Amino acid sequence: MDAVRNTKAIFKRELASYFESPVAYVFLVVFLVLVQFLTFFIGNYYEMNQADPRGFFFWHPWLFLILVPAASMRLWSEERRTGTIETLLTLPVSLFQALLGKFLAAWVFIGLAVLLTFPIVLATAYLGAPDKGVIVGGYLGSLLLAGTCLSVGMFTSALTRNQVISFVLSVVICLFLLLAGWPPITDMFVKWAPRLVELVASFSFMSHYFSMQRGVIDLRDLAYFASAMIFMLAATHQVIENRKAA
């Protein structure tokens, strides 16, 4: 029970910190404006004359590529820069509890941004009869993809006290994982390491995300996102442990 109480305390502290500054509101507004701009003006959502929300979900990974690293770059970098990480780690809270509380708070915040896009789905339902499986799978895939990008951002945030460096590293890693299964990347590996093509492609976020976006919720896709998050959080834990011991 102490572990749950401690994690909950960190969760509340971190979630409240987002809304104590205008940054959270700017993030939400920018995300919602960009979603609508990309969906309706770039994606020509209405011109397709189809009640298909996949044209709306298509843009989520590219928004997460920039906005999730921006939301996560401060999680550990700021603690290290201000020196509060030492205070945090001397409290009767384990590193795992602090890590999990921070992650869940940031994930809930980003999840709120994703769920605020629901009026677009309602508008689609008003104009036609969209596949409910696509809607459920699209939102579930978006939340899992956001959580995976967030875990990458937490890892890079633990590596450096500079938030800009954390942001850039996170964008680069997430971009590679987004594009890993696409021809430009696979073609590069075909030329000098053909045996690695399938392995590299298997790390791609997009194949798993697009599968769920079609309304197909496969246990393999859920396991992929869960494994990616656990791996990155474990790596973050190890980085912070090593810095404590240094």
pLDDT tens-place string over residues 170-213: 999 999 888 876 666 666 666 666 666 666 667 778 888 888 88
Instruction: Tell me how far CA of residue 148 lies from CA of 52, 65, 177, 192, 206, in angstroms.
Output: 25, 11, 10, 29, 12
CA dist 115 and 214 (Å) reads: 18
Q: Say if CB 43 and CB 58 are below 8 A apart.
A: yes
Q: What is the pLDDT of residue 218?
A: 85
CA dist 31 and 29 (Å) reads: 5
Instruction: Tell me how far CA of residue 232 lies from CA of 50, 77, 91, 219, in angstroms.
Output: 38, 16, 24, 20
Domain extent listing, the chain: 2-245
Q: 43 or 136: which carries more pLDDT confidence?
A: 136
CA dist 192 and 181 (Å) reads: 16
Average pLDDT value over all residues in the chain: 82
Structure tokens at 238: 């190890």
pLDDT tens-place string over residues 103-115: 999 999 999 999 9
What backbone phi and psi angles, to 5 degrees, belong to 188? -65, -40
pLDDT category at 131 given cuts 50, 70, 90 is confident
Answer yes or no: is pLDDT of 49 > 70.
no
What is the 8-class DSSP label of residue 193?
-
Got the DSSP string for 48-87? G-S--THHHHTTHHHHHHHHHHHHHTHHHHHHHHHTHHHH
Answer yes or no: is pLDDT of 224 > 70.
yes
pLDDT category at 241 given cuts 50, 70, 90 is confident
CA dist 71 and 146 (Å) reads: 11
Q: What is the pLDDT of residue 17?
A: 84
